[in-house]
Amino acid sequence: MITVLAAALTAAVFWCLGYRAHAHAAAFRAEQAARLHGPHPAAVADEIAIGLQALAEACCDRWWTSAGAEHDRPCTSRWATTVACCPECTVEPGIPCHEDGQPLAYAHDRRIQEAKETSP
């Protein structure tokens, strides 16, 4: 009689443990199904917007790709035009360089050199 009672109690304990493990596994599967897989679309959109804003604020493509170490010639010319006088065509900062009375789309090399020497 004691053996039968022990067997019944053992079966009840194992059945309870098995049921709990099954319930836990089912809850785990339900939680995994409810979660979003991969990065959240709103977070991805925010990262893209931040990158596009930084790219729009970049002064030139070479500056962007070199992490701020280099500039394209037009970018360097714009900077030199705003900060230095041009010894070649004798214009003040902010006025573009010119040849034969026609404004140039770039700064003279001497002006760029002058800007590099005077900048901190």
Write the CB contacts of 97 (distance below 8 Å, at least 6 apart in sequence).
81, 86, 88, 89, 91, 103, 104, 106, 107, 108, 111
Helix (H, G, I), strand (E, B) or coil at 43: helix
Helical ranges in the chain per DSSP H? 2-34, 41-57, 61-65, 73-83, 109-118
Nearest-angstrom CA–CA distance, 7 and 11 = 6
Per-residue pLDDT, 15: 63
DSSP state of 36: P
| Per-residue pLDDT tens listing for the chain (120 residues) | 788 777 777 777 666 656 566 667 777 888 877 776 777 788 888 889 998 888 777 777 777 788 777 777 777 788 888 889 898 888 989 888 988 888 888 888 888 888 888 876
Give me the amino acid identity at 113. Q
Q: What is the structure's pLDDT at 42?
A: 84
User: Residue 68 phi/psi, 5° resolution?
Assistant: 85, 5
